[in-house]
Amino acid sequence: MSKTFALDCVRVAAAAGQVDFGENRVQEALPKCAEGRDLDARWHLIGHLQKNKARKVVGPFAWIHSVDGCELLDRLERAAADEGTRPLLLIQVDLAGEDTKHGAPPAQLLRIFEAAAACRAVEVKGLMLIPPYEDDPERTRPYFRRLREVRDDLVAQGVNRSMLTELSMGMSHDFEVAVAEGATMVRVGTAIFGARPVPAAAR
Ligand SMILES: *Cc1c(COP(=O)(O)O)cnc(C)c1O
């Protein structure tokens, strides 16, 4: 996760062989993607995406982890078709029922995957989870396990496996537990780039 870090940091990581870089704010990421065009980098959008920004992200981002409903999916499909791009998408799932968090409730997933099966420009590849924060990764393990079970349930209900190959879950302090529970993509920021500068508003 290169969010909050300048492109110079991305360049150092890219020179060391890192290819995938995650950003959570469209506004901050777009100039970085543009300036870093010379790099062999694959950009991932992991933060909430407003529908009206769909058109801006389907080019720069190879992966969009934060699709949480049919309407956003449809916007991305139309934007990608218009732009001639083929972004890969993950459906963000809300397992905790936290109103403050984004993500689709599990009950809506089948409908979203039915819509995804009809998409021709974008391709849905799996699920993404941001669980409630716990210092002890063992307390997060049940959420990781639940996302895997949700994936298995969708396959059992007939969703094509090719749309469910990825589970994006786990960050610096809990990625080992996430991998043990089936993560195929971990989103590691601090453990690679160091502590992020604290935004002025949070000081
Ligand atoms: C910032 C961020 C991460 C990385 O967190 P670290 O603790 O720095 O590894 C992972 N996932 C999401 C959605 C993030 O916003």
Length of the chain: 203
What's residue 203's pLDDT?
Answer: 55
Residue with token string 């190879």: 62
Q: Over pLDDT 70: what percentage of the chain?
A: 97
Query: What is the whole-number distance in angstroms between the Cα of residue 162 and the centre of ligand 1?
Result: 26
Q: Does residue 202 form part of some domain?
A: no
Q: Does residue 2 form part of some domain?
A: no
Q: How confident is the model at residue 100 (pLDDT cuts 50, 70, 90)?
A: low
Q: Does residue 39 form part of some domain?
A: yes
Q: Does residue 203 form part of some domain?
A: no
> pLDDT per residue over 27-83, tens digit each?
999 999 999 999 989 999 999 999 999 999 999 999 999 999 999 999 999 999 999
8-state DSSP, 63: E
Which residue's alpha carbon is at the smallest distance from atom 4 of ligand 1?
Answer: 189
Query: What is the whole-number distance in angstroms between the Cα of residue 171 and the centre of ligand 1?
Result: 5
Mean pLDDT of 1-13: 93
Longest dimension (CA), the chain: 48
What's residue 197's pLDDT?
Answer: 79
Q: Is the dihedral of CA 121, 125, 127, 129 positive or negative?
A: negative
* Ligand 1, pocket residues at CB < 6 Å: 1, 3, 24, 46, 130, 171-172, 187-191
Count CB-CB contacts under 10 A for residue 198.
Answer: 9
- Go through 142-175 and write b for each residue having 16 or more CB atoms within 10 A of its CB, e for each that does not: ebbebbbebbeebeeeebeeebbebbbbbbebbb
Q: How confident is the model at residue 202 (pLDDT cuts 50, 70, 90)?
A: low
What's residue 2's pLDDT?
Answer: 92
Q: Does residue 19 form part of some domain?
A: yes
Which residue's alpha carbon is at the smallest distance from atom 6 of ligand 1?
Answer: 189
8-state DSSP, 179: H
Q: Which domain holds residue 165?
A: 7-195
Number of separate domains in the chain: 1
Query: pTM for the full model?
Result: 0.95
Q: Does residue 200 form part of some domain?
A: no
Q: Which residues pair with 63 in a beta bridge?
A: 44, 88
Query: What is the whole-number distance in angstroms between the Cα of residue 1 and the centre of ligand 1?
Result: 6
Report the CATH number at residue 189. 3.20.20.10
> pLDDT per residue over 124-167, tens digit each?
999 999 999 999 999 999 999 999 999 999 999 999 999 999 99
Q: Does residue 201 form part of some domain?
A: no
Q: Does residue 38 form part of some domain?
A: yes
What's residue 97's pLDDT?
Answer: 83
Query: What is the whole-number distance in angstroms between the Cα of residue 37 and the centre of ligand 1?
Result: 23
What's residue 201's pLDDT?
Answer: 64
